[in-house]
């Protein structure tokens, strides 16, 4: 089970992306829990995640979240703005998988 957390300003703008990522996971036969939260909830939810992806509009939070991610030993990155804009769930899901495998 891959556990992928998305964080954005309110957790709402990434909800459609979550649906598309879940669809991509299903198509690839990979069991995954994918959820989105507002940026203020991210540090707590990171304890249950294998990776954190930050919405491109929240890229300024990367440094703050990096401290928590290092403590928990999980990778994080900012979602590619093009993939985010296109709601390309497959691309974002595959990026999350690559980050998890890279560690």
Query: Active-site residues: which are they?
Result: 8
DSSP string, 55-101: -GGGGGGHHHHHHHHHHHT--EEEPPHHHHHTT-HHHHHHHHHHHHH
Check residue 9 and report its DSSP letter. Answer: S
Other CB atoms closer than 10 Å to residue 40's CB: what's the count? 12
The whole-angstrom separation of Cα 56 and Cα 70 is 20
């Amino acid at each position: 089970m891959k556990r992928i957390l998305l964080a954005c300003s309110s957790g709402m703008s990434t909800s459609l992306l979550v649906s598309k990522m879940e669809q991509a996971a299903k198509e690839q036969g990979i069991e995954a829990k994918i959820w989105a939260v507002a940026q203020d909830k991210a540090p707590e939810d990171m304890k249950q995640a294998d990776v954190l992806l930050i919405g491109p509009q929240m890229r300024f939070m990367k440094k703050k979240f990096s401290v928590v991610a290092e403590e928990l030993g999980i990778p994080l990155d900012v979602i590619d703005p093009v993939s985010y804009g296109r709601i390309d769930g497959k691309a974002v899901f595959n990026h999350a998988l690559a980050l998890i495998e890279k560690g």
